[in-house]
Structure 1
């Protein structure tokens, strides 16, 4: 079961100090003073792996090739084109079929190494970047990856692709061929992160899409340069990828111990319960368990007791991200922070966590909590306070003074929270009249909670419904009775892409290297532009300024302060009612599946499973 999109990020508190040391060391490294071709690039300093490295530290270069891994996904799919807004694309196409010029190491906060590009060259002030293609780089049909393919891919994704590509592309002043295998992008402004973001754009085969509307979704298998080709497609039900024996990059050091399976198959199921039953029956060979309570109590089925399935807990050092119920401030009833705080007060996390999860997992305290990037307790200080000071008059309460979520109660009704919520609602103009919460105009405080009946990447449909059902009951003392609407996956995507909801389930994974993509998450353009991740509809000049400061940072210290300041703005904006997170990934897997002993900084993250796993086929 996939938990990523960038998805849920859990960190071990005991490992945070190690990451702080890593960031401090990176900050101390000198920046290149002149542009020269290099094998990799880091957001700060130099890549950890030198020119001529023989394998990624978290890959096993001796891993055997062969075998099959079967993974489960919720819902269905109706497209094989993950680069556009239309359609619900099958997971894995953008991971296994297409490639980018550079490849990310998940053992460093933000470092890329050359993949389709053999070298990268950047201006000292990072106002331009130039990539040199490997001469051997080729698509799966044997045709070479050309500079023309690169330029077409960048221009097409930037103008017709998914909105996630648009913000960075708007900062590109020019893209041009500077040699038979060289392409240069010149930026409208100096930006430390842009060369890295451009290195991660998927490179597609121009000839395949000639004469077609690229923005349309399709079930036509794309031709990519990746290690896998699409072997079989059962629309909405299953997709199988087969390792390409003629893959052009199979002998690159970057690929040593990577892409080990001959076959990767994703089966789609109606909900998480069906997925888990398939795993118990041996039809799925890896399962991510998202419930600590289930992890402790539901693994006594025959495959486990016989030793055919092994339980593993994989640590990481990444932020918690944000998971919970998001309030859409485009709806006027949620425009007031006092109303949103009242909604948070009425969510009795302690009771819900104990009832549904045995109280095992901690609550998300802030968007970047459980990492060095998270806001500190108490008042803002030092560089964080300096960054926030110009916005003091417009910041929500707590951003400068300090903020913490309500403690909650062991009982279903938290009477103290009810009193606080009623007071906040009265301040915002809402009072109980004839048993219902109304304003002075007699308008009832009425809203809809929208849920995907198949659940989410991190929660099953039944679990989200259980959480919401408890919450709905808790709102009754306020005279509020929300409507609960369940939709299928396609309807849910359509409605959330167009912000047609009042409150819904929300998951945003956050990394150790947040950057320009944060504008897509929280930027003002997302208030009206469909398809952004700004589901809450926030329009915060302070958040925009913190993102600018983060992207423009020259040192790791300034970067960390900017993220901590952004975390304060987001958290005290009170847009999301957060739930719990797991400090480890819980993976149950067939005993013949293995992963390296060296766990990357990001842990169980895209690039780890299935990329560096293997199967003992003997």
Structure 2
């Protein structure tokens, strides 16, 4: 996006991969919930989330040690106009799908159009911005854009490529368990039982095994995913030796519950992977499409009532710091205090539409560390009174007598979230607010969230050092009314849309950074999410036979870092 790639043209492998890693081994991972589809590219159904990382490839691939940089994968070369108005790719001679057939220009063009019109919403944002896509040679094609957006050339290199002939005479968007898309990735589905397990086998004829980009990756022969009803059962399965590795997101559990006999014997190893990426946002999102969450005062009152310091001490022993903003822990995060310099200049035209604190400065409320949290509760009560929600007979009601109640929608197995809400509910009860929780299975949860059918629900946005078009999916005004959009809070902010536009159009790194910091301010001052603790380090418990390189990427433990560059060795 800016400057030159860090790796030279003759690089041997990605810097965080071991080019001499041995191959072999069988591993078993665990997921909670289930699955009813094996097509991860359509809106219909729930798939194992790992599938699109293990079995499919794009024209270019990402290095997790560099933001905004891609390297050739299915494409051997890439050219783009100085203004990024078009990009041209040349396919590698020898690129093959898992069935041995050649990856062609026709497959690429079909994949872009099909995913852009029938695919999952995450893939549809690019297609309307393509003015033309056409072959320029036997193995090359050009994509021209109709929108001034410097990131489009990179996004165009990251769409999964599927086999066109597989879908002739068939409807792609209606596929499910019986229609596994053919990809070019290193792993193929060998066996599955709906909702119970799925096994991936490394393709011995994988076309790209000798590419420098692939050297030292995809080292495991077999990867199986077992599905469990909740995280507690999954953890017990790991302790019993039924699983090979598990990620732990709670520092308190990591310190206290990972001392079982296999750990004491050294058969299970506790590995911590630090990272330098933004914190992202984890917590509880409020649906502003529904009353009373459309009023920022109510949202601020709930933030005040959420006694983070006490809850964090109870849940993690106070070991995990709170998320301070969407891009905190990085140079892209908003700075404390009033907006200054370029950030202020970018936001100033929208001063009349900005939420309170966006320009003057906003910080999350801090409790006093006690269970009662009296000062913040008094402030919350005053805001609720001001918003028209007053206490009558111990119940907070509006002018029509309607009580202030809401439901938190949770996915089955989210035991941590359930405990947090129970602690939160005690504080809200003292304000005259009743909170209930509703637990549903994976399929119901996906459908409810896609329809924006919730009051409050758990929320996670894993943000990167290279934010771009995905920000429009997360926060753009169009998604506020679009079913299936990832704008769960339903925010409509001209300032946020303008900051995203600036991020995508500028060729100046300083302006880009200022636009992200300004967006961060708009999101935080909007008070859409009640943040909880951040995942400042990756924690993986695994059998001693699993190993990873000493050199760690700047992004740390991303979703495909383990197992991508790990290997199995008895020695």
Q: Normalising by structure 1, what TM-score?
A: 0.91
1:538 is displaced (CA, Å) by 0.3
1:504 is displaced (CA, Å) by 0.7
Residue 543 of structure 2 aligns with which residue? 590
Correspondence for 1:296 among 255, 258, 261: 255
Residue 328 of structure 2 aligns with which residue? 369
1:153 aligns with 2:111: yes
1:95 is displaced (CA, Å) by 1.0
Pairs within 5 Å for 1:26-175: 43-175=1-133
Residue 509 of structure 1 aligns with which residue? 462
Partner of 1:609, secondary structure, is: helix
Correspondence for 2:515 among 540, 553, 562: 562
Residues in 2 aligned to 1:603 and 1:555: alpha-carbon distance in whole angstroms: 27
Residue 15 of structure 1 aligns with which residue? none
| Count of equivalent residues | 570
Residues in 1 aligned to 2:304 and 2:437: alpha-carbon distance in whole angstroms: 20
1:237 is displaced (CA, Å) by 1.2
Partner of 2:434, secondary structure, is: coil
Residue 433 of structure 2 aligns with which residue? 480
Residues in 1 aligned to 2:435 and 2:148: alpha-carbon distance in whole angstroms: 48
Render the CA deviation track for 1:39-83: whole Å, top value 9, x for unaligned.
xxxx11111111121111000001001112221111110000111
Residues in 2 aligned to 1:271 and 1:581: alpha-carbon distance in whole angstroms: 22
Pairs within 5 Å for 1:219-618: 219=177, 220-454=179-413, 461-617=414-570
Moved over 4 A (4+): none
1:197 is displaced (CA, Å) by 0.6
1:315 is displaced (CA, Å) by 0.7
1:198 aligns with 2:134: no
Render the CA deviation track for 1:385-428: whole Å, top value 9, x for unaligned.
11111111111111111111111132222111111111111111
Residues in 2 aligned to 1:53 and 1:353: alpha-carbon distance in whole angstroms: 45
Q: Normalising by structure 2, what TM-score?
A: 0.98
Residue 36 of structure 1 aligns with which residue? none
160-169 vs 99-108, greater mean Cα deviation:
160-169
Alignment root-mean-square deviation, CA: 1.0
Would you say the 8 A contact 1:106–1:607 is kept in 2?
no
1:493 is displaced (CA, Å) by 0.5
1:555 is displaced (CA, Å) by 2.1
Would you say the 8 A contact 1:66–1:617 is kept in 2?
no
1:531 is displaced (CA, Å) by 1.3
Q: Unaligned regions of 5+ residues in structure 2, if any? A: none
Partner of 1:253, secondary structure, is: coil
Q: Unaligned regions of 5+ residues in structure 1, if any? A: 1-42, 455-460
Render the CA deviation track for 1:115-158: whole Å, top value 9, x for unaligned.
00000110110000111001100111111000010000000000
Partner of 1:470, secondary structure, is: helix
Residues in 2 aligned to 1:403 and 1:611: alpha-carbon distance in whole angstroms: 40
Render the CA deviation track for 1:478-524: whole Å, top value 9, x for unaligned.
11102211111111110001100011111110000000110100111
